[in-house]
Amino acid sequence: MDPIRNPYVPGAGASPPELAGRQELFTQAGVVLQRALIGKSARSFIATGLRGVGKTVVLGRVQQLAESAGYLTCFVEAHEDKSLGQLLAPPFRKMMLELDRLGAVTAQVKRGLRVLKSFAGGLRIHHPLGLMIELDVDPERGTADSGDLESDLPDMVSALGHAAQSRKTGVAIFIDEIQYLSEKDMGALIMAMHRVMREGLPVVLAGAGLPHVVALTGQSRSYSERLFSFPELGPLSEEESADALRTPAEREGVNFTPEAVAEVLRITQGYPYFLQEWAYHAWNVAHGETILAGDIQVATEVSLTSLDAGFFRMRYERLTPRERLYCQAMSELGPGAHRSGAIAAQMGSRTQAVAPLRNALIRKGMIYSPAHGDIAFTVPLFENYLHRIKAMGSDPADAED
């Protein structure tokens, strides 16, 4: 069929044409946004789930809801090499300048700009060459200028919230891959949201991260569960998966046979990213206006080649040789979660000896602990990829480009 008409979008973070199975979360997010605008207590949320369940897509859709409600928004992606302050300072500047442009100058907006100048100055204590925030105002001496993010970020977010409130609007902060924040940065973020909740300010945080982010927030501040809800995003149900496949095709006058739908669901296990991947390639290989089970078989070969070269390999290449051995040992034990001791035994070692490997893989977002002593991959179907590269008898990460 015509690839230009193909409605499916398997790219990372791309919003699919039919966002099935997430409506309840969007409804709850809409309530939070409206309550915050009128000064009512509203718990922000951090969505959790494995790779490929659509966390980034969900954040993007909630950002659209926030903007439709009149919020100023910023969207950042946390990573290991940049502090939270460095990530947030530039979008904070953008939002403060936007508030400044919205009307006659208010005392809260003027103060917000001064606090931002102080905040940027405090950040330069630790990042003298990595941050330049230009503002034609004097800093607010003694506020948000210590260089200690746990002290400064609550002052900064509070000033931003007061400025937004004076303009009868709100601020929504979106942080993807939030599990990469350090414990100190996570603590500063939690303290900032605690502050604005106490003050009744229209500031909302929406985050997304891997499943162990719930434990990370608890380690940072014990009261985090009272500030956030943690909706869990998993694979779609059979009905939701079928809708995600059929509805976009039907809009283009194309149908999936029941056998084709069943085959896609069997292979992808309902993970949204994989559903888009298989549907995209099935569309491109199909002849006529009906996608058949045979088309899915061809699409499987194309999809696996694409995933192995990109989605899976990109993550595999980040691992050291020893970390790859740990992952191979996990894959040899079969799908699902495994005891740390069983993985160590599969490697011919002791649990304590391989604990540094386990901890490094958790930091890299490759594995997580769904229960005490258990370890599982954060990337669905990753064990199948490891089986394939083992069967090839070579390591693709060592191959020349």
Give the model confidence (pLDDT) of 158-187 as tens digits.
999 999 999 999 999 999 999 999 989 999
pLDDT mean over 230-237: 92
pLDDT mean over 301-308: 94
> Mean pLDDT highest for which of 19-28, 126-135, 210-219, 249-258?
249-258
pLDDT above 90 coverage of the chain, percent: 74
- Going by pLDDT thresholds of 50, 70 and 90, the confidence category of residue 226 is confident
218 or 365: whose pLDDT is higher?
365
**Which of 145-159, 212-226, 344-358 bottoms out in mean pLDDT, i.e. has the lowest?**
212-226
pLDDT mean over 37-53: 91
- The overall average pLDDT reported for the chain is 90
Q: For residue 400, what pLDDT is reported?
A: 39
Q: For residue 98, what pLDDT is reported?
A: 93
* 334-341 CB contacts, 8 Å cutoff, 24+ apart: 334/383, 335/383, 336/376, 337/370, 337/371, 337/374, 337/375, 337/376, 338/374, 338/375, 338/376, 339/373, 339/374, 339/375, 340/373, 340/374, 340/375, 341/373
pLDDT mean over 234-248: 93
For residue 130, is pLDDT > 70? no
For residue 105, is pLDDT > 80? no
Q: For residue 127, what pLDDT is reported?
A: 65
- Going by pLDDT thresholds of 50, 70 and 90, the confidence category of residue 399 is very low
For residue 220, is pLDDT > 90? no
For residue 343, is pLDDT > 70? yes
pLDDT mean over 337-345: 96
pLDDT mean over 43-68: 94
pLDDT mean over 257-284: 95
Q: For residue 307, what pLDDT is reported?
A: 93
For residue 47, is pLDDT > 90? yes
Q: For residue 352, what pLDDT is reported?
A: 94
Q: For residue 248, what pLDDT is reported?
A: 93
For residue 224, is pLDDT > 50? yes
pLDDT mean over 318-326: 95
For residue 13, is pLDDT > 60? no
For residue 273, is pLDDT > 50? yes
Q: For residue 132, what pLDDT is reported?
A: 60
pLDDT above 70 coverage of the chain, percent: 94
- Going by pLDDT thresholds of 50, 70 and 90, the confidence category of residue 21 is confident
10 or 68: whose pLDDT is higher?
68
